[in-house]
Each structure stands twice: as C-alpha cells, then as structure tokens.
Amino acid sequence: MHKEVLRSIAGIEIYPLISFGIFFLFFLGLIVYVFVANRQHLREMSEIPLQPDTADEATALSDSKLW
C-alpha cells in the first residue's frame, strides 16, 4: 500500500538522491575538517572540561541566570 502511494507522487524519485547527497557531503566535509584542523586547537578544546573553574567564571555564570 505504501509503495503505491509513494509511486503516485510526481517527482518523488529525486528525494532519495538529494538526501544521499546531503549525507555524503556532510561526512566528506567532516573528514576534510578532521585532516585540516589545527591539532593544537583541538588539543586545547579537548582539555577544557578537565580544567578547574575560576572564581570569575563562576560569578559571571551566576549573574547571568534569568531567575
């Protein structure tokens, strides 16, 4: 039943190609980014969660609360 409904829609055959193209371009861009990215920057970003919070950052976060 679902196949007949989808076959009756004009121009539906282009959507799988478009979705595959978006999927392929996204992962191709991701692979290019991984190989081109600055290693030092990636290392610094990966260490951010391990760094202790400073008092300035803690007060800035508490001041920015909406309630």
For residue 26, what are the domain limits?
Answer: 1-48
The residue among 8, 10, 9, 26 whose CA lies nearest residue 18 is 26
pLDDT, tens digit, for every residue of 19-57? 999 999 999 999 999 999 999 988 998 888 888 876 555
Mapping DSSP onto H, E and C, the string for 1-13 reads: CHHHHHHCCCCCC
For residue 37, give the DSSP letter.
S
Residue given tokens 């989808």 in the structure block: 6
pTM, entire model:
0.53
**What's the structural domain count of the chain?**
1
Check if the beta carbon of residue 12 is closer than 8 Å to that of residue 6. yes
How far is Cα 31 from Cα 46, in angstroms, rounded to an integer? 18
Structural domain contains residue 55: no
Domain-located, residue 56: no
